[in-house]
Structure formats: C-alpha cells, structure tokens
Amino acid sequence: MNILVLPGDGIGPEVCNETVSTLELLAKKKGVELTFRDDHAGGAAIDHYQDPMPDSVITKAKASDAVLLGAVGGEKWDHLTGAMRPESGLLKIRKELGVFANLRPVAVSESLADASPLRPEAIAGTDMLVVRELTGGIYFGEPRGRSGEPGNEEAFSTMRYTTAEIERVARVAFTWAKRRGNRVCSVDKANVLVVSQLWRDVVNTLHKREFPEVELSHMYVDNAAMQLVVRPSQFDVILTGNLFGDILSDAAATLGGSLGLLPSASVGGPVGLFEPVHGSAPDIAGKGIANPVAMLLSAAMMMEELQHPEIAAAIRAGVDSALNQGLRTADLHREGKTTRVSTREMADAVREAALSAL
C-alpha cells in the first residue's frame, strides 16, 4: 500500500509526523505493508517548486493508493494571487484526483461535551456526517471575472451544477446514511437560487429511484446554520454543495470545541485524499502544541477506505482512550479539569492505547 504524504505548511508537518509514525507502528503489528512517500504541497511547494501543486506531485498522487495531507497556507505566501496561492494547490489536487465528495464526521463524545461552546445538554448525542460537494459549484463555476476601474469595479462568480454532479454526490450521502442513522438532510437555497432548485429536484428523483428506504428532508441553508447551533443532534447526514458545505462544516466543526478534532475524507475518484479540516494554524506552528487528533482520525478514515477497518478502529480507540484519560492539547485544555499535553505526548498516548486495542 503506497501512501503519498503531503505535510504542507504550519502545523501540517507536526501532525503528519505523529500520524505517519502511528500508522507505521500499527501496520507493523498487523503485518500490513505501508510505504510512505513524502512531497511538498502549498507554501512548501511554492518555495521548493515555485508552484503550490506541481504536476509531478499530482502524478505521484495518482500512482498512490491514498494521499494524506496536512494543511497549507501561511502569511509568507499571502501576497500571492490566483494559481500561485497555496489554497489553489489544494483545489487542483482535489480536482485532479476527481474526489467530488468531502466527508466530515462530527461526533461529540461525552468526555468533550464540556469543551463545546454549546451547553452540554444542547450538544448531547451529536453525531453527524457532512457530505459536501467538492469539485463543482461557485468555487469552479465559469464565467467568473473582475473588470472596471478602481472605485468603479464589477466582479462575479457563477454557481453552476449539472444533474450528474448532484446525483453522484447525493449517492454518496444516501449510501453513507444507510451505514449510519438512515437519514439525509439536503441543504440548499431553493427559495432564491435556480441552481438550488435543480439540486433539490435531482436529489428528490434519485431518492425515489434508488434510496426510497432512506429518510430524506430538505432545509434552507440559513435555517441549517441556525439548527446546527440550536439542536445539532437532529442531524444524521447533511448533504450540501461546495460553498454551503464549506461554511456549514466549519460551523459544525466548532461544536466539539476545537478544529483540532475534525477529520475529513475526500472520495469519489480512484485515489482518496485524507486531511484534517483545520488549516495550517500559523499562530501555533512550531510550538509543539497542535492537536494531532484531527490528522490521526483522518488517517483512520484512510485505513477504512483501504480496507483495514481494524487499524482504523484501533486509532479511534486510541483517541478515545487518550481523551478519556483527561489528556488535552492546549486548544482543549481546561485548567484544573484536564491534563495539558504536547502534540507528541498526545500522539504517544494515542499510539499506546491503539497498539493495545489492536
């Protein structure tokens, strides 16, 4: 099994290193052969190749079984524009790998309920999966442009979806719902946007044709934003487009108290991309205090996809055990209530418990 590791920038390399050594340890115990190859992405690739995602890295990614990515971006590259921005590299690899569905699970365990910005009784029972369309919509839609003189400019982007694009991501959402709570809530803005009206029609048709046994509901995105913070436990699978999914999944991410807990998987093509939801966190980079859990859980999703659910389960058990022992990195630490640990110490605790769970 060949894994391409793209640590990226900021805390990316810190959390990637811990994750790769965890995977190596668990794979060795299980007799699974994992080969890791490293390359640059984002700002690191701009420095090294003058390109945030050169074609050589894309070729390596396509020849791998999965790609593990840390995070990209940072102040150093903020002055760059267009295709030279670190984030453009991310958009490019997602597009090139054809990973059109982004899966973001958000489950708030009992031991973390008090870290949530919501009251414990409001957050209790939250266990949702946000399925976001990733390669279409307004982030890619043409035409787009900016014209005119300073002070009198005009700019526009286009939100565009085809039936095929909506169907394939909806199919992913329905399929995952069947493995979970059997409910899909499709989020759109069909009261205003024509593109959302097509979205809703296509989801309804697919539901009737292929997944009548799954419970389907629809919600406008403004209401969904509200419901996410009022009663998040009502959701099982949320299906939505690229722009709405970007915003809602970050809102959902904060429910657990830290971005540092949230994994993601981007699937749909032959090679999946597994990365934490958080960015490169330049404010804490290099301090050894980043939370490695999001990256570790992303690796668990990868091992599941690579048909090694026992390794995935061991990583999850390791994370649960570390959290239940009261260990917390700085982002989640509560003075007098939890034990503050470094990135390395947190990963060590996960590794130890994961190994004994395997």
Specify whether 236 is catalytic: no
- In the bound complex, what is the minimum distance in angstroms from residue 264's beta carbon to ligand NAD? 8
In the chain, count H helices and then E strands.
12, 14
Q: Determine if 34 is a binding residue for ligand NAD (CB under 6 A).
A: no
* Contacting ligand NAD within 242-261 (CB under 6 A): 258-260
Q: Determine if 281 is a binding residue for ligand NAD (CB under 6 A).
A: yes
Active-site option among 127, 250, 320, 348: 250
Specify whether 65 is catalytic: no
Contacting ligand NAD (CB under 6 A), which of 66, 71, 101, 166? 71
Cis peptide before 143 (omega within 30 of 0): yes
Q: In the complex with ligand NAD, which residue's Cβ is closer, 57 or 166?
A: 57
The two three-digit tokens of residue 278, written as one number:
């958080």
Distances from the Cα of 270 to the Cαs of 20, 60, 196, 261, 334, in angstroms?
Answer: 22, 13, 28, 26, 42
Q: What residue spans of 36-124 are helical by DSSP H?
A: 43-49, 55-62, 86-97, 120-123
Q: Burial code of 301-312, b = ≥16 C-beta within 10 A, e = fewer?
A: bbbbbbebeebb
Return d(Cα 153, Cα 103) in angstroms, integer: 37
Contacting ligand NAD (CB under 6 A), which of 51, 65, 87, 310? 87
Specify whether 331 is catalytic: no
Q: How far is CA 220 from the centre of its chain?
A: 22
What angle, 0 to 180 degrees and rounded to 10, lies between the N-to-C axes of helices 293-305 and 12-30? 40
Active-site option among 47, 55, 201, 222: 222
Which secondary-structure segment (H or E) carries 26? helix 12-30
Q: In the complex with ligand NAD, which residue's Cβ is closer, 73 or 105?
A: 73
- In the bound complex, what is the minimum distance in angstroms from residue 83's beta carbon to ligand NAD? 15
# binding residues, ligand NAD (CB under 6 A): 22
Contacting ligand NAD (CB under 6 A), which of 121, 149, 153, 283? 283
- In the bound complex, what is the minimum distance in angstroms from residue 71's beta carbon to ligand NAD? 4
Q: Determine if 72 is a binding residue for ligand NAD (CB under 6 A).
A: yes
- In the bound complex, what is the minimum distance in angstroms from residue 285's beta carbon to ligand NAD? 8
Specify whether 39 is catalytic: no
- In the bound complex, what is the minimum distance in angstroms from residue 207's beta carbon to ligand NAD? 31
Check: CB of residue 60 under 8 Å from CB of residue 54. no
Check: CB of residue 104 under 8 Å from CB of residue 264. yes
Return d(Cα 250, Cα 243) in angstroms, integer: 11
**With CB under 6 A as the contact rule, which of the stretches 20-28, 175-183, 283-291, 301-309 interacts with ligand NAD?**
283-291
- In the bound complex, what is the minimum distance in angstroms from residue 300's beta carbon to ligand NAD? 16
Specify whether 189 is catalytic: yes
SS3 of residue 202 by DSSP: helix
* Site for ligand NAD, rule CB under 6 A: 11, 71-74, 87, 90, 258-260, 275, 278-284, 290-291, 294, 331
Catalytic residues: 139, 189, 222, 246, 250
